Amino acid sequence: MNNPRKVLFPLLWVLCGFMLGLLAFRSPQPNQQDIGFLQGMIAHHNQAVDMAIRLHERLTALNQRSPLQITLKAISFDIQSGQTNQVGQMMGWLHQYGQPVTGEPMDPSHMGMATPEDVKSLSTLPLNDAQNKFLGLMIRHHQGGVKMAQAAVSTARLPVVRNLAQKIIQAQQNEIEELTRLLKQQGGEVPTSPQDATPGMHHQQDNP
């Protein structure tokens, strides 16, 4: 049976973000770039949260942890809580304007998304291998997220969306530096940045 606390905690973060989103989102009307970014980043964040939960649960189950594992446990928790809350905000904003939460499909190879097999492997690989896999996957995932957010800063109409995108850039660039440092310490190969292809934002720029 699933631990009710494991289910309740993410739901509370989503609900808090959702309510903040409803309170913060006001006129002007969003453009295509606003909607495309929000829909795409929800899917992007959800995968990051999934990966973080898988590793965090395995690290939490340990009786003793190495310094690396202590750091990864903290990082994975931060990703869970921070990005789950942002998902709630973005869902609230989309709801405010009658827009669906899901948009056009994302190309995993372009936006740094991991394959379903890679995500599942974080639960099945030997723990040391899973830790290195997590570092590599999350670096590339964050690189894709930064590209999406940079496009939103340039093309989105709504101040709340541009502000959120700027926060994502800052937070994920900082995490990329930390994750890269940890991966190099383990002798891992740092992934290259994905190509720039932002879902829902290919349209001609629609500025105010």
Structure tokens at 76: 């994975």
Least confident of 10-14, 56-60, 166-170: 10-14
**CA-closest candidate to residue 155, choices 27, 33, 28, 30:** 33
* Percentage, residues of the chain above pLDDT 90: 71
Ordered domains of the chain (ranges, CATH): 28-101+115-185 (1.20.1260.10)
Residue 173 CB neighbour total at 10 angstroms: 14
156-205 pLDDT, tens digit each? 999 999 999 999 999 999 999 999 999 999 999 998 888 754 555 544 44
- Cβ-proximal residues to 179 (8 Å cutoff; 6+ apart), any chain: 75, 135, 138, 139, 142
Q: Which residues contact 53 (CB under 8 A, 6 or more apart)?
A: 10, 76, 80
How many angstroms from the chain centroid is the CA of residue 89?
13
Judged against a pLDDT cut of 80, whether residue 117 lies above it is answered with yes
- Return the percentage of the chain with pLDDT > 70, whole number: 80
The larger pLDDT score, comparing residue 71 to residue 17, is at 71
pLDDT greater than 70 at residue 51: yes
